[in-house]
Amino acid sequence: MLRDDAADDLVEIVVDEYSNAILTAASAKPVTVDEITNAVSMSSATAYRRINDLLTYDLLDEQTWIDETGTQCHVYEANFETLKIEIVDGIAYLHIVQETNHNLARIWEYR
């Protein structure tokens, strides 16, 4: 289970509108920043900030591809199989299931 501060930061990132859009797009296929900004009204600077946050928490993988013109471009792909919020008996959990591990964070509790 993640420590409380890390869990709080992670939840803020995951529920953020722009981060959520990036994760959704990157879970379907590898995407470039241009593809992300064209699909969602967000500036390149905002996209890069959110991508850096998502990379920090290991929710995205970054790869360098060479396009048909020989230009390098970075593509981003989701680094999780499942990401979900589950509420059980007054406690909300954030589950992140990755290929090699399963992170669980308690994010809210009603008492």
Q: How confident is the model at residue 3 (pLDDT cuts 50, 70, 90)?
A: very low
**Is residue 66, in this structure, part of any structural domain at all?**
yes
- State the total domains in the chain: 1
CATH at 43: 1.10.10.10
**Is residue 69, in this structure, part of any structural domain at all?**
yes
What confidence score (pLDDT) does residue 98 get?
A: 78
**Is residue 18, in this structure, part of any structural domain at all?**
yes
Distance, CA of 42 to CA of 90 (rounded, Å): 35
**Is residue 88, in this structure, part of any structural domain at all?**
no
Q: Tens digit of pLDDT for each residue in 4-56?
A: 566 677 888 888 899 989 999 999 999 999 999 998 889 999 999 999 999 99
Q: Which domain holds residue 25?
A: 4-79
pTM above 0.75, yes or no: yes
Amino acid of residue 98 = Q
**Is residue 57, in this structure, part of any structural domain at all?**
yes
CB-based contact 59:80 (threshold 8 Å): yes
